[in-house]
Structure 1
Amino acid sequence: MPRHSRKPFSPTNPLVRKPVRIGKITAAAAVAELRQLHEAAEDPYVERMPAPDEVYSSLLYAERHAEALRVLPLERRKAAALIRIRLWEYLRERADVHQARAVADARVMRTEWAELAPALAVKAPSAAYNKAKRLLAAALADASPDAPPVRRTPEAVVEVERRITRQREADERAAEAARKQHHLLVPVAQRLLENRPGLVLDEDAEYWLDELAEVLPNCSTPTQMLGLARYLSAAVRALTKLERNRAQPVARTDEARLALSAAADIAPH
């Protein structure tokens, strides 16, 4: 019987299944719930339990004083244990994220991989590099929870970093183009809005002109400049579509016709 050859494994391929994670939880509320259970059990030392935002110290306290809960019903003791388990898992997941950020800070300060090896509990600079990249996979997932999960391999993380860099560079180019075009767009957009009463509008055109009017007065950041360009283009498209559907001009005055023509000439397509 012929054997099926297995496809070669690529360390950069995305994960097929998203890993199951605790993710972001309200840790302080969980600690407060744990404290309430100790208070209900009349734990004599509950006043020594750390504040709810001190998750690690609170878990150590709950571990040391778990016997104080023995007077509670089984279900409530089980609930306390499950809270502890969830919080430890939460800390485990957060540790990867924060350790990755610490490594990034160390690298910015020109810390060599050989220096990082002992701190990362590995023996060689190459091992420190690989472990740092694996940690970064958690940080990338934390930063973009809706993005596809990143495989915890150095190759996969490097590929995602390159993709992020390319996207950042593309965003910067778009922002720069918007800045260069901004001084031309503003008077044209202003003129179109001033001649709004001379235009026949439908719901779509009304919406985009409203968005244009909203962003125009305080248009200073690259994001706002890009928004201005998008809203002007969308308004022109909506008016052009309306004109096509009506089979007659949407401009009722010469001023409105000239304003729309200027907007159509300059708006990004």
Structure 2
Amino acid sequence: VVKLLGEHARTEAHSIGPIRGFGYDHHRLAEGRHPTAVELDLVADNRTVTVMHVSGHGFSVNSHGLAEAGITATIPTPPGGVIDRDEDGRPLGRIFDAACDLLTGPEGVKLGNHGPNLHLPDDPVDLARMLDDAQEAFLATGVTTVGDCQVTEREMRAFLAARDAGRLTLRVVMYVLSSHVDSLEIDSWLGDDRLSVGGVKHYADGALTGGSAYLPCGCGATHGHLYHGPGKLEDLLVASANAGRQTATHAQGPEAIQLVLDALGRAPLRPD
């Protein structure tokens, strides 16, 4: 991981600014664990280094990135989040689930305890370029319709700008994250044949592959966590159903899945 990130950082296109990677799986690393901040400091100690876990539920971050985000021994772990720490409380580098809000900066996208924050700060021009690259890759393999299951104001703006400029070559169905439905004033099946809102995305627990799915019986050294306190997820799902919104809910642990099933059992089949 360190070698690949270092090679990436030395390319001309990525010689300044944050260094990012995606897709490490700690189960497949020789060490059998997540990269530490000290190890990622070998990539760069004067630039932020973040590498996203294959689950999409969090990052390993170098010391510079932790300091820049204000993640220290004294900062509390947000509800629904994970910050790996040493015996003195100092962060070791792994930031998962709701704790990822700390990595997006004071003006960045915030999700609270509604999901893992994957929305690291990016310029709108860079977002447009990434969307263009993704569309090209999908179309090259024959994929013409995609669903984005974690849309906030930032992603919606990017999709709308692409559509209005004639650059949206895919059909995109957006699932708006539960914490952003009200701010986006989503109250119906908005959209057209190119860009539409399909429903609302909810999260019940963390990820099995990341070691944060809710497993009260234990999964190695962790029992994972739920994103919401007792009754809250059920209330959110019932509210979505009452508003006539389709839902897509991430749930991996058996108890988390049961919470979703119980909530759907309370929800009306059709809104009143």
TM-score, with structure 1 as normaliser: 0.20
Larger RCO (alpha carbons 8 Å, 6+ apart): 1
Structure number, greater radius of gyration: 1
Answer 1 or 2: which has greater strand percent: 2
Answer 1 or 2: which has greater helix percent: 1
